[in-house]
Structure 1
Amino acid sequence: MARAKAAGAQSLRSMALDPVRNFKHEALDVPEWDAAKVVVMALSAGDWAEYRRRAAAAVAAARAAVGLTEIPEEEEGEAPAARLVDIDSSPLYAFVLVRTLLDESHARIFEDADVETVAKAFSPVHDRLVGKAFELSGVEAGAGAQDPVEAAGND
């Protein structure tokens, strides 16, 4: 009886600690990758916090590069769009892909050190997978939705 109870507790522990079981996820076919099957998972709270930190740092660096203060100062009568700067979002979206793209066995495909490499190869295919990760994370994506970079602090 004790063994059965211990085995049941171990199984419950495994289920409680399984990130794929505990986060929204979706299996997808990627036709451009010879119909490879992948799993895209929602961002964890830690991933989302790191994404926001990276987005804020990218915005601050872009503002500094064009001679603006790192934190936008509101001026009376100024439209919010006048305070925005363009940033290369590929490294941010590559970070999301690295953290959320899994193979069929639910193992991560990329390591954190791969973000720069993924950013250099970023394409519409990658963008589609990142869009799915944001959707699963409860972040609206697509036309008319607020850009997640802006949501992270580019205002």
Structure 2
Amino acid sequence: MARRKSTTTIDPRAALLAPLAGFRHRAMPVGDTGAQVIVREPGADDWLTWQQHLQAAAGEDVTEENAEEVAERVTASKDHTPEAALLVRVLLDPDTHDRIFSDDDVPEVNRLWGPVYGRYLNAAFELAGLNTATPVEDAAKN
């Protein structure tokens, strides 16, 4: 006789109210430490914060017309403040789902910017559907 499959009923309300239910996210390792972080896709307020820091670093409003030139200038300046401002908002503790960094940590993250931070930020862009080398232009299209 065939065994009856057990069905697990998932409460849709509880699933929708889970801390990260509204965001795509993924767990990522922290180097070789064995620790993990959760990277979540940026929300609207995260994009606004990034935009504010990008405009401050550029010294002007960023528009579709000047986005490429501004991106080149900010990249050449090696100022990672806009990236750091977005990154501190999307890295979460896997146990508590709280942010690991506060907005006050932006200067320190900028000062210590390295490839691992870039990988986390690229993951956030991918989760947001911006997985090309031109996230500013892609965001304008969405």
User: 2-side partners of 1:47 and 1:71: how far apart?
Assistant: 16
Let me know the Cα RMSD of the aligned residues.
3.2
Could you say which residue in structure 1 is the equivalent of 2:25?
A: 25
% identity of equivalent residues:
35
User: 2-side partners of 1:122 and 1:151: how far apart?
Assistant: 24
**Structure 1: 5+ residue stretches without partners:** 1-7, 62-69, 75-79
User: 2-side partners of 1:124 and 1:60: how far apart?
Assistant: 26
Q: Which of these two proteins has the greater Rg computed from alpha carbons?
A: 1
How many residues are treated as equivalent by the alignment?
Answer: 124
Give 1 or 2: higher helix fraction: 1
Please report how far the alpha carbon of residue 19 of structure 1 lies from its aligned counterpart in structure 2 after TM superposition. Answer: 4.8
Q: Could you list the structure 1 runs, at least 4 aligned residues long, displaced by more than 6 angstroms after superposition.
A: 150-153
Please report how far the alpha carbon of residue 126 of structure 1 lies from its aligned counterpart in structure 2 after TM superposition. Answer: 1.0
Would you say 1:60 and 2:59 are equivalent positions? Answer: yes
Residues 84 and 25 (structure 1), Cα distance of their counterparts in 2 relative to 1, 3 Å cut: closer
The normalised TM-score by structure 1 is 0.65
The normalised TM-score by structure 2 is 0.70
**Structure 2: 5+ residue stretches without partners:** 1-10
Q: Deviations over 1:109-154 (max 9, x none)?
A: 111111111111111111111110111112124xxx21x467689x
